[in-house]
Amino acid sequence: MGFAFVIDNRRCIGCHACSTACKAENSVPLGVNRTWVKYVEKGVFPHVRRFFQVTRCNHCANPPCVPICPTAAMFQRPDGIVEFDGALCIGCKACLQACPYDAIYIDPESRTAAKCHYCAHRTDVGLEPACVVVCPVHAIIAGDMDDPKSEVARLLATERVAVRKPEQNTKPKLFYIEAEESSLLPTLAAQGTGYLWGDLPQGGDWRGPIEIDQGRMAGALTRSAAPRETYNVPHRVPWHWQVPAYLVTKAVGCGMLLLAAAGLALGLFPPVALFTWLPAIAALVLMAATSGLLVWDLDRPERFWTMLLRPQWRSWLVRGAWILIAVSAIAAAMAAAYLLGRPGLARALLFPAIVFSALGAVYTAFLFAQAQGRDLWQSPLLPWHMLVQSVMAGSAGLLLAGLFLPAGAAAHRVLVLTFSASALAALLMTVAGEFGVPHASLVAEAAARLVTRGRYAGHYAASLGLGLLLPVTLILVARTSSTALALSASLAIAGLFLYEWAYVMAPQQVPNN
């Protein structure tokens, strides 16, 4: 059994009866939608045509929102309906990032995720979804696509249908007859703030102009007239400043512990306070700050413990949480061993510290990879980039601490060399890797242009110039100056925050609906 929707665009009149019925049936609050009708217009006046597209959850056969959910609040039923349990949701918004269709929202009343659930309460008793019943022209057809006798199955067998973003491999089960290409792919239609019945305010979380390569957009269109989006729901940004901040605290804490443990294990660092108990305590404090920032960004922070008490282990949110706990436990044990005079125990913890601090540095790359709705984050280079960033941030933290605690001349040279090499590697990965190569999709390209030429260009330029190039230059010019070292380390950490801000926020600005 596999429930699916077919939208017959030959019949749809854009009346919004489906949206209204959905709100009434499921008590959907104002300002959010489970089902809505998108308008796209094409042509030159007076020869203009308006296209309607009923938009909602695609109930994918391979739904990316399910494995990323840390508590299994989002789940797939045996009949193919992608359902959610608001009682388990912690409001992490990871499912919103994973959905390539912007079909999930945070309910402003319950502060939990919600979306179209195929009116499962009606389907379970043999009734059709409310939107199907209310449609005056029978443009919405629902049923079991695996049943050859159903109307849905017959339409799929006899009509030419299209789905949204088939390249995402989500296997969507929302099919369109006579689909309009510029409506299926958001970046193909010009977007602004002027809509049919009013203007959306600039700023905030509302949809704004999307910057993409106009030549490539024109090449992607199969029709001659340029389309314009004239009605849609607001686009909102799920993750906020806490996420870039957590990436920095995690990078510094894991990097300090990783470098100190590796240096001691390899004999590059002497067993002095700067490389023994101090990085362990710093990692412990910064892991606590990291966890606090993550909880802060939850819409239901009081439910944080749900992901630990009943974890959904496919989610990298869950795996990451336990990695952070492991790093904290190892750091606490190492600090206690050093301070209590148990060097043998501390040395036995060096290898676990190296392994788990490295995992702590890179696991977010795999979480971003699960967020399939943000194409810019789908980079195979990202784990290595985050590891290099953590090494740079950790060496910067140790250099700052070295202003107050002795390191030894040889160890100091190793720290300076590590900092300089990792900063240059981060610069190369950023310019030549993340943003110097063609991107696989228009959505990723639009996000990259927001970073390099658009809204976040200032953050990006400052992160490269002030956060990477200037610190290395200062060290090369004034190698032994403590002031230059302190300034270089501080600039590198500040530059990392600016980079993470642009990298996290820009892809969220590009709408998927």
Show which of 231, 263, 282 is a domain's final residue.
231
Q: pLDDT tier at 114 (50, 70, 90 boundaries)? A: very high
417 found inside a domain: yes
In this structure, the answer to whether residues 217 and 247 fall within a common structural domain is: no
Q: What is the structure's pLDDT at 191?
A: 73
Average pLDDT, integer, range 266-292:
97
Q: What is the structure's pLDDT at 46?
A: 81
Task: Determine which helix (DSSP H) or strand (DSSP E) holds 417, and give its type and residue range.
Answer: helix 409-428
Q: Are 331 and 284 in contact (CB under 8 A)?
A: yes
Alpha-carbon dihedral sign for residues 396, 401, 402, 403: positive
In this structure, the answer to whether residues 156 and 41 fall within a common structural domain is: yes
Average pLDDT, integer, range 251-277:
97
Model pTM?
Answer: 0.92
- The CATH number of whichever domain residue 370 belongs to comes to 1.20.1630.10
CA 53 to CA 8: how far, in whole Å? Answer: 9
Show which of 231, 260, 283 is a domain's final residue.
231
Per-residue pLDDT of 389-438, as tens digits, reads: 999 999 999 999 999 998 899 999 999 999 999 999 999 999 988 888 88
What are the CA-CA distances from residue 510 to residues 174, 189, 199 (Å)?
22, 13, 19
Helix or strand or coil: residue 143?
strand
In this structure, the answer to whether residues 107 and 18 fall within a common structural domain is: yes
Strand partners, 93: none
In this structure, the answer to whether residues 102 and 217 fall within a common structural domain is: yes
200 found inside a domain: yes
236 found inside a domain: no
The amino acid that residue 398 corresponds to is L
Q: Give 3-state DSSP helix, strand, coil % of the chain, rounded to 5.
A: 50, 10, 35
179 found inside a domain: yes
DSSP labels for 443-512?
Answer: HHHHHHHHHHTSTTHHHHHHHHIIIIIHHHHHHHHSTT-HHHHHHHHHHHHHHHHHHHHHHHHHHHHS--
485 found inside a domain: yes
Per-residue pLDDT of 471-504, as tens digits, reads: 999 988 877 778 888 999 999 999 999 999 999 9
In this structure, the answer to whether residues 344 and 468 fall within a common structural domain is: yes
47-61 as b/e: b if 16+ CB within 10 A: eeeebbbbbbbbbbb
In this structure, the answer to whether residues 187 and 250 fall within a common structural domain is: no
Q: What is the structure's pLDDT at 203?
A: 43
Mean pLDDT rounded to a whole number for the chain? 91
Q: Are 462 and 410 in contact (CB under 8 A)?
A: no
Is 59 a residue whose pLDDT tops 80? yes
In this structure, the answer to whether residues 315 and 435 fall within a common structural domain is: yes
Q: What is the structure's pLDDT at 199?
A: 60
The amino acid that residue 130 corresponds to is A
237 found inside a domain: no
Average pLDDT, integer, range 61-87:
96
Domain span at residue 195 reads 3-231
Per-residue pLDDT of 316-338, as tens digits, reads: 999 999 999 999 999 999 999 99
How many distinct structural domains can be found in the chain? 2
412 found inside a domain: yes
In this structure, the answer to whether residues 342 and 469 fall within a common structural domain is: yes
Q: What is the structure's pLDDT at 214?
A: 46
CA 347 to CA 438: how far, in whole Å? Answer: 46
Q: Are 174 and 56 in contact (CB under 8 A)?
A: yes
Contacts of 404 (CB under 8 A, 6+ apart): none
Per-residue pLDDT of 180-222, as tens digits, reads: 888 888 878 877 656 777 665 544 443 444 444 444 444 444 4
Strand partners, 227: 42
Range list of β-strands (E), 109-266: 113-114, 140-144, 161-162, 174-177, 194-195, 198-199, 227-231
149 found inside a domain: yes
Q: Report the range of poorest mean pLDDT among 24-33, 65-74, 97-106, 223-232.
A: 223-232
Helix or strand or coil: residue 177?
strand
Calculate what percentage of the chain has a pLDDT beyond 90.
80
In this structure, the answer to whether residues 195 and 278 fall within a common structural domain is: no
In this structure, the answer to whether residues 226 and 253 fall within a common structural domain is: no
Strand partners, 36: 55
Q: What is the structure's pLDDT at 222?
A: 41
In this structure, the answer to whether residues 216 and 348 fall within a common structural domain is: no
In this structure, the answer to whether residues 102 and 216 fall within a common structural domain is: yes
Show which of 174, 201, 231 is a domain's final residue.
231
187-197 as b/e: b if 16+ CB within 10 A: bbbbbeeeeee
Is 96 a residue whose pLDDT tops 90? yes
Q: What is the structure's pLDDT at 301?
A: 95
Task: Determine which helix (DSSP H) or strand (DSSP E) holds 64, and give its type and residue range.
Answer: none
- The CATH number of whichever domain residue 24 belongs to comes to 3.30.70.20
